[in-house]
Structure 1
Amino acid sequence: MATEKLDLLIDRPTESVPERVVRKVCEAIAEGLLPPGRRLTERELMELTGVSRTSIREAVRHLHTLGLVETSPSRGVRVSLLGHDEVREIYEMRDVLEPKAAELFTLRATDEEVAALVAKAKPESPEGGRLKSIFEFDQMLLDGARNSLLKASLGALHVRIHALRSLSVTIPGRREASFQEYLELTAAIEERSPEKAAEAARRHVRAAAQAAIEAVELMEQHDS
């Protein structure tokens, strides 16, 4: 008699509950719904997400590791308030990695991926939706670059960079300038010019760095 194959494989979701909480909090930060300094308690996170205290605590530990939350002077945690030096270091790394991502995307992305990226750079939506579109744009750029190490390194930075965007766009003229920079980047990508794409990405990163540092300095002056 033939022996049936023993199969004890258990289907598992691609994300655990704490991982889903981390993703949702990251998205809320990226969209400006949880601005820097925003206090978060376990109770509020449980109510907002509908998950257990154990899962919330595990998620908060991971958010600490990512540098997205920090211990609050009062009870609980708050969305991290990055200082001048931390912001400078983040953008120095972004200056190295993001132009390379733009170059590789231009070389490796399919025509369909290029068209989708171009469309993502031209949303007609309120500012919250705009921030979400930028978050998705960055993910698409990394996916199309097809370099797992670059994606891991720059993806970790992007999480913290998105936390700063709701501040940097408060600098007069920055929102409009950023929109134009994305159009220049996608134009270079459509042209399939890796050199122009890398240079457009570099200009964008350096302008964004200047605005982010200025915004953080203004916030520090206000708090002092």
Structure 2
Amino acid sequence: MTDRHGIESRYAWLRLLASVGLGTIGGVGMWSIVVALPAVQAEFGVDRGGASLPYTATMVGLMTGTVLIGRLSDRFGLMRPAMLAVLLLASGYVATAFAPDITVFALLYGALIGLGGAAMFAPLIADISMWFAGRRGLAIGLVASGNYFAGTLWPPVVEHFITTAGWRATHIGIAGVLVVTMLPLLLVLRHRPPVQPEPAAVAAGQPVFGSRPLGL
């Protein structure tokens, strides 16, 4: 790894900006389901309990996907698992647009949108933490805020298009936006994290408190 792609290099800052953008755009899954639920509930004719099933499935998908994507990121770097996640997200939005009932809608949201959206929070935070030292807290805080930026950006946009075009057309439109905007941003993440220097005490074989989180 050259200095050009080292810790707190210009590339690290570019990667930080790309990660914030990915978190903001890719965080749509957690918010679109909330906005779409009233329209989906009305079309499928289910009660409030049945209408909440897609949200529950999405949260389960996010939980499961965070572990899976994190594992893949450790092995292959973040870019390839994140690209897979974007394809899952986009295909999930297209598939849900053709869902015939609330059960299929919920399963698709959990298995595709929830699973894909998981890459856009914790894995991004873990990745950016390896690119900063003195400003690590700032970098982590900014990437973590991507989800909240998504909560500011997406609900009014999704609500507008559901009102004007319907929830099915809106889901297809979201899929197109994700592919067009996120895949180019993911190319910024193609480099693997730089090797972190070990503290002198660790290099000498002495234990250092806090050098290994949770003792791992």
Q: Into which bin does the TM-score normalised by the smaller protein fall?
A: 0.3 to 0.5
* Structure with the higher helix share, 1 or 2: 2
TM-score normalised to structure 1 length: 0.35
Provide TM-score, normalisation by structure 2: 0.36
The one of the two structures with greater contact order (alpha-carbon pairs below 8 A, sep at least 6) is 2
